[in-house]
């Protein structure tokens, strides 16, 4: 009977599958963390002879459950190999671990095992009661519980921003990655940097997560462990020194000016989609900020929209990202269309949403709703789903487009103020007078910019007409 098999995972690493010598059944596969088959064979043979290194099944120090769960530990064999000093050290370790009371001056009469211990076993010194042990998964779930976490309550009380949606994403990371790997019975004092390094490398190499996702899993533990360490609940921070992975993120693509012109000229499936598109292109609004617009945010007299909130399906109405409340200029025609859309709401009021849902008029459309309209429109102008995905064009790409055309026509500070990229220090830097001046500057720039783009579209149309007439004229001459 074969004693083990080797097989490759999707990343090319070999794992060994041992065969139970009694039942003949295959055990759980263990990764050798090598892509070299000869090296993997040598590792598997070594484990077969010496036992699999003791640790969890997913780390480099593998659990020996695959070979020893059905075989009792041979204590007598261990005792036979002990020296006198080893025996004393072992007794002290057992005493410390389990709290046994060992009587001093143990006599040299361990007759059963034919071992003589002539020196005195010193009982462990009295120590202060240790800190209570903390279960890892139970602690992580409680730490990131938005409604009950002491950390989150304190964090919000100090004026910081954290959304319920964010903590739900973290809870998913715990459930999908931390909990299956460590189980429910692992204690935090059992963790160290090598163990955690193994865990994160396992997520990257065997679970095939992207570097950015692994970094999010690192963030889950990093902040939680730091909080315990800083408050004296643990002696050392096991996350200290854990290295992050390179985030292999696909850069968001943006549509070209020609494509934007085509989209502006397109007859969209509905007005909601097109208005959301215009707010993304003209004003650089995020999808959540579009959903968060209310009637009171529309200033028809000044041709300005106030960006005061964002909206998500989990948190509802909340502050914009980075708590950046700002005023943006908008062309009068688009603003009137927004007002007209808002008035279609049967529950229209100053506090009602502009982009209200037809299903629940007291709520806006979910931010993901606008993406569907954009994707349909892109297909209508000839950009297939495959091309869109390859270029990574998403609704947020409209915001990048807006920032790009602004950066080509004005200074960085104006772009930052318009797009909501301002830091707190930059916000404090502007006086009220400077803010008004910037607002007028942004308004003038946007008017000129979009006039250029739209006029270029008209010029292109006239050029096409001229070319067509010229072709027709030539054909008429040839026919003559």
Residue 206 has pLDDT above 50, yes or no: yes
Residue 93 or residue 447, greater confidence: 93
Asked whether the predicted pLDDT for residue 7 surpasses 50, the reply is yes
pLDDT at position 121: 45
Paired tokens of 288: 């959540």
Q: What is the pLDDT of residue 107?
A: 40
Look at 15-24, 25-34, 64-73 and tell me which has the smallest mean pLDDT.
64-73
Find, among 355, 334, 333, the residue nearest to 345 by Cα. 355
Question: Residue 63: is its pLDDT beyond 80?
Answer: no
| DSSP reduced 3-state for 294 | strand
Rounded distance between C-alpha atoms, residue 313 and residue 294, angstroms: 16
Given pLDDT bands bounded at 50, 70 and 90, which one contains residue 460?
very low
Mean pLDDT for the stretch of residues 282-310: 92
Query: Which residue is listed with tokens 């007078």?
Result: 433
Q: How far apart are CA 54 and CA 61, in angstroms?
A: 6
Give the pLDDT of residue 48: 78
Contact 192, 146 (CB under 8 A): no
Per-residue pLDDT for 433 more than 50?
no
- pLDDT at residue 468, rounded to an integer: 44
> What's the confidence (pLDDT) of residue 17?
82
Asked whether residue 113 carries a pLDDT value surpassing 60, the answer given is no
Residues facing residue 298 across a β-bridge: 305
Cα-based angle 287, 293, 298 (whole degrees, multiple of 5): 135
Return the percentage of the chain with pLDDT > 70, whole number: 69
On whether the CB atoms of residues 275 and 295 are closer than 8 A, the answer is no
Task: Residue 17: name the closest of 49, 50, 39, 40 by CA.
Answer: 40
- Range with top average pLDDT, 105-109, 120-124, 146-150, 432-436: 146-150
pLDDT at residue 248 in the model: 67
Of 241, 222, 235, 191, the C-alpha closest to 59 is 191
User: DSSP characters for 15-79?
Assistant: EEEEB-TTT--B---EE-S-S-HHHHHHHHHHHHHH-PPSS-TTSSS--THHHHTTS---HHHHH
């Amino acid at each position: 009977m074969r004693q083990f098999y080797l097989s490759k995972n999707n990343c090319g690493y070999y794992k060994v599958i041992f065969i139970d010598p009694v039942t003949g059944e295959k055990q759980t596969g263990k990764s050798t963390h090598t892509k070299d088959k000869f090296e993997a064979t040598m590792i598997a043979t070594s484990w077969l002879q010496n036992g699999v290194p003791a640790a969890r099944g997913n780390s480099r120090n593998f659990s020996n459950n695959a070979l020893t769960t059905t075989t009792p530990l041979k204590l007598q064999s261990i005792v036979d190999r002990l020296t006198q000093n080893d025996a004393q050290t072992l007794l002290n370790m057992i005493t410390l671990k389990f709290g046994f009371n060992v009587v001093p001056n143990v006599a040299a009469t361990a007759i059963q095992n034919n071992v003589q211990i002539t020196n005195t076993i010193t009982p462990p010194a009295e120590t202060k009661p240790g800190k209570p042990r903390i279960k890892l998964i139970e602690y992580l779930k409680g730490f990131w519980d938005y409604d009950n976490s002491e950390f989150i309550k304190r964090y919000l009380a100090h004026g910081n921003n954290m959304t319920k949606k964010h903590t739900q994403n973290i809870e998913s990371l715990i459930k999908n990655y931390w909990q299956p790997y460590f189980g429910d019975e692992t204690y935090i004092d059992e963790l160290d940097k090598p163990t955690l390094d193994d865990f994160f490398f396992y997520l990257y190499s065997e679970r095939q997560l992207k570097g950015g996702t692994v970094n999010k899993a690192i963030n889950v533990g990093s902040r939680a462990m730091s909080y315990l360490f800083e408050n004296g609940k643990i002696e050392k921070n096991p996350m200290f020194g854990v290295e992050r992975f390179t985030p292999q993120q696909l850069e968001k693509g943006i549509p070209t000016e020609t494509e934007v012109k085509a989209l502006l000229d397109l007859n969209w499936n509905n007005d909601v989609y097109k208005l959301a598109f215009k707010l993304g292109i003209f004003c650089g609004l995020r999808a959540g900020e579009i959903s968060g617009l209310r009637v009171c945010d529309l200033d028809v007299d000044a041709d300005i929209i106030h960006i005061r909130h964002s909206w998500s399906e989990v948190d509802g109405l909340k502050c914009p990202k980075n708590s950046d409340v700002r005023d943006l200029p908008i062309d009068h025609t688009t603003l009137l269309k927004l007002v007209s859309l808002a008035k279609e709401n049967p529950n229209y009021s100053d506090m009602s949403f502009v982009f209200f849902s037809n299903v629940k008029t007291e709520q806006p459309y979910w931010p993901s709703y606008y993406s569907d309209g954009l994707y349909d429109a892109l297909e209508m102008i000839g950009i297939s789903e495959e091309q869109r995905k390859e270029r990574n064009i998403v609704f947020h790409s409209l915001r990048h487009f807006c920032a790009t055309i602004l950066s080509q026509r004005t200074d960085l500070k104006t772009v930052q103020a318009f797009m909501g990229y301002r830091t707190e220090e930059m916000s404090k830097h502007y006086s009220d007078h400077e803010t008004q001046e910037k607002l007028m500057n942004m308004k003038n720039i946007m008017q000129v910019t979009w006039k250029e783009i739209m006029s270029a579209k008209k010029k292109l149309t006239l050029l096409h007409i001229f070319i067509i007439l010229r072709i027709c004229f030539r054909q008429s001459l040839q026919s003559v």
